[in-house]
Amino acid sequence: GENVEQHPSTLSVQEGDSAVIKCTYSDSASNYFPWYKQELGKRPQLIIDIRSNVGEKKDQRIAVTLNKTAKHFSLHITETQPEDSAVYFCAASNYGGSQGNLIFGKGTKLSVKP
């Protein structure tokens, strides 16, 4: 089955700096790669996703890149703000295939210092 590795487990940056979180996956059939943000005491919520037919996607200060050959994808947050502090999870799925389930990485706790 799919296995997703996520690094780093914790990340501390100064407000205004950039943050990068990296994930690798094992199943070459995976074709959907979302990122979820979980604030303290709340449920995970989707912030951005990318499908296997594109290499990069951007939404304001957030971008995700995908390298299918190397089987890794990354989340980039620019101009970080204190409200970006949260736990971020990457995930991978073979969407529409025999398994429609999401497999998550272990998460990255991002702290943005004012």
Binding site for another protein (CB under 8 A): 1, 6, 9, 31-32, 34, 43-46, 49, 51, 89, 95-96, 99-107
Query: Whole-number minimum distance, CB 29 to another protein, in Å?
Result: 13
Distances (CA, A) of 79 to 1, 17, 29, 76, 82: 36, 5, 34, 10, 10
Rounded Cα gap, residues 114 and 83, in angstroms: 10
Q: Report, in Å, the least distance between residue 73 CB and another protein.
A: 15
Considering beta carbons, is residue 51 or 58 the nearer one to another protein?
A: 51
Query: Could you tell me the smallest distance in angstroms from the CB atom of residue 35 to another protein?
Result: 11
Cβ-based burial of 38 (10 A; exposed 0-12, middle 13-18, buried ≥19): middle
What distance separates the 2 farthest-apart alpha carbons in the chain? Answer: 46
Q: Nearest distance from residue 102's CB to another protein, in Å?
A: 6
User: CA 78, CA 97: separation in Å to the nearest integer?
Assistant: 34
The residue (of 78 and 109) whose beta carbon lies closer to another protein is 109
Nearer to another protein, 14 or 98 (CB): 98
